[in-house]
C-alpha cells in the first residue's frame, strides 16, 4: 500500500500528460506547421503563362513557361527547371509552398522527364468533387485545392482521437467559412471564382452565405487585431 501511495502522484501525472497530449497535439501541430510554413517562399499560379515566386525577402520573381526549356523531377520531390539561358532552378517540395500547384500547372507541351510525367499522371488522375470549395480536386481523401480532408476522412480521424463528430453539413459549413474568407470582395464573396488548376464541380453550391463569411472574417479580425 505504501508503494502504491508513493507512485500515485506519478501515475496521476502520466494519465494527465497522456490526456493532454491526446487532445492538444493536433492543435499544437497545426499551429507549429502554420508558423513554419509562413517563412517558406510561395509559388503562385495566377495565369496560364507561367508562375510567380514570392520569396522570403519580399522579392517577387515572375517566370514564364516560354523561358523554360524542360522540367525534370529529380529524386522524389525536387523539380529541376532548365531555362533557355542554360540556368537551372531547383524547387524542392519541402522548401516551397505550392510545389504541387507548380507540378499541376506544367503545360502539356512542356518537355518533362518520365519521372515527372508519371508522377503527374498518378497524382492528378481520378480527381473527385470537393464539397467545400466546389472544385474537382479531391485525391486520396484530401482536396488539393482547399487542402481540406473529406468528411469521411474527418470522421475516421475524429473516431481515432475520440472527439465529438460534427454532422457533414456543419463540417462543410465550417470549412467553407474558413476557405471563402480568401474570396471576399467588398460586400460580396466570389464563391465561383475560376481556378486555373481545377475544374468546377457540376451543380455545386455553397452552404454558407456571403453575409456569414463576412461576419466570420470580422470575428477573426476582432480576435487577432494586427
Ligand atoms: Zn476543396
Of 76, 108, 125, the residue at which a domain comes to its end is: 125
* pTM, two decimal places: 0.70
Domain that holds residue 32: 1-37
Condensed to tens digits (0 to 9), the pLDDT of residues 71-110 reads: 999 988 999 999 999 999 999 999 999 999 999 999 999 9
Average the pLDDT over 4-12 and give the result: 75
Instruction: Tell me, yes or no, whether 46 and 19 share the same domain.
Output: no
Give the Cβ contact number of residue 90 at 10 Å.
11
Which among 85, 103, 125 is the end of a domain?
125
Q: What is the pLDDT of residue 72?
A: 97
**Structure confidence at residue 19 as a pLDDT band (50, 70, 90):** low
Whether residues 169 and 206 share a domain: the answer is yes
> Cα dist. 226→58, 87, 161 in Å?
19, 41, 34
- Assess contact for 130 and 143: CB atoms under 8 A: yes
Most distant pair of Cα atoms in the chain: their distance: 80
CB 79: neighbour CB atoms within 10 A? 23
Kindly give the distance from the C-alpha atom of residue 20 to the centroid of ligand 1, in angstroms, as a whole number. 31
Residue 5 has pLDDT above 90, yes or no: no
Q: Which of 20-29, 33-42, 169-178, 217-226 has the lowest mean pLDDT?
A: 20-29
Tell me the CA–centroid distance for residue 86 and ligand 1, in Å. 38
* Last-in-domain residue among 97, 125, 153: 125
Say what the pLDDT of residue 17 is. 67
Shared domain for 17 and 67, answered yes or no, is no
pLDDT value of position 90: 96
Rounded to the nearest angstrom, the distance between the alpha carbon of 138 and the centre of ligand 1 is: 7
CA of 100 to the centre of ligand 1 (A): 14
* H or E element in which residue 116 lies: helix 114-123
Task: Indicate which CATH number applies to the domain containing 95.
Answer: 2.30.29
149 C-alpha to ligand 1 centroid (Å)? 8
199 and 131 part of one domain: yes
**One domain, residues 95 and 121:** yes
Grid cell, residue 164, equals 465529438
Q: For residue 179, count other CB atoms closer than 10 A to its CB.
A: 22
pLDDT in tens, 39-73: 689 999 989 999 999 987 789 999 999 999 999 99
| Residues 95 and 120 reside in one and the same domain | yes
Task: Indicate if the pLDDT at residue 173 is higher than 80.
Answer: yes
Indicate the pLDDT class of residue 225, thresholds 50, 70 and 90: confident
Whether 154 and 214 share a structural domain: yes
Given CA atoms 172, 174, 179, 181 in this order, what sign does their dihedral have? Answer: positive
End-to-end CA distance of the chain: 57
Same domain, 99 and 17: no
Same domain? 135 vs 195: yes
CA of 136 to the centre of ligand 1 (A): 8
Q: Which of 28-32, 71-75, 167-171, 210-214 has the lowest mean pLDDT?
A: 28-32
Residues 28 and 75 in one domain: no
Q: Higher confidence at residue 180 or residue 15?
A: 180
101 C-alpha to ligand 1 centroid (Å): 14
Asked if residue 81 and residue 27 are part of one domain, the reply reads no
| 186 Cα: distance to centroid of ligand 1 (angstroms) | 23
What domain count does the chain have?
Answer: 3
> Same structural domain for residues 160 and 221?
yes
Amino acid at each position: 500500500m505504501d508503494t502504491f501511495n508513493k507512485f500515485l502522484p506519478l501515475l496521476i501525472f502520466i494519465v494527465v500528460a497522456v490526456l493532454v497530449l491526446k487532445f492538444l497535439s493536433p492543435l499544437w501541430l497545426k499551429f507549429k506547421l502554420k508558423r513554419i510554413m509562413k517563412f517558406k517562399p510561395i509559388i503562385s499560379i495566377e495565369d496560364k503563362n507561367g508562375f510567380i515566386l514570392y520569396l522570403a525577402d519580399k522579392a517577387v520573381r515572375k517566370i514564364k513557361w516560354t523561358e523554360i526549356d524542360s522540367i525534370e523531377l529529380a529524386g522524389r520531390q525536387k523539380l529541376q527547371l532548365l531555362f533557355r539561358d542554360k540556368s537551372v532552378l531547383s524547387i524542392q517540395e519541402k522548401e516551397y509552398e505550392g510545389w504541387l500547384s507548380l507540378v499541376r500547372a506544367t503545360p502539356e507541351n512542356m518537355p518533362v522527364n518520365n519521372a515527372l510525367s508519371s508522377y503527374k499522371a498518378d497524382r492528378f488522375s481520378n480527381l473527385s468533387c470537393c464539397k467545400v470549395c466546389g472544385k474537382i480536386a479531391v485525391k486520396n481523401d484530401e482536396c488539393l485545392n482547399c487542402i481540406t480532408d473529406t468528411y469521411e476522412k474527418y470522421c475516421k480521424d475524429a473516431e481515432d482521437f475520440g472527439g465529438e463528430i460534427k454532422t457533414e453539413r456543419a463540417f462543410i459549413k465550417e470549412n467553407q467559412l474558413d476557405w471563402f474568407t480568401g474570396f471576399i470582395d467588398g460586400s460580396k464573396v466570389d464563391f465561383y471564382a475560376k481556378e486555373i488548376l481545377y475544374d468546377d464541380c457540376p451543380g455545386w453550391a455553397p452552404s454558407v452565405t456571403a453575409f456569414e463569411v463576412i461576419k466570420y472574417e470580422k470575428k477573426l479580425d476582432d480576435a487577432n487585431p494586427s
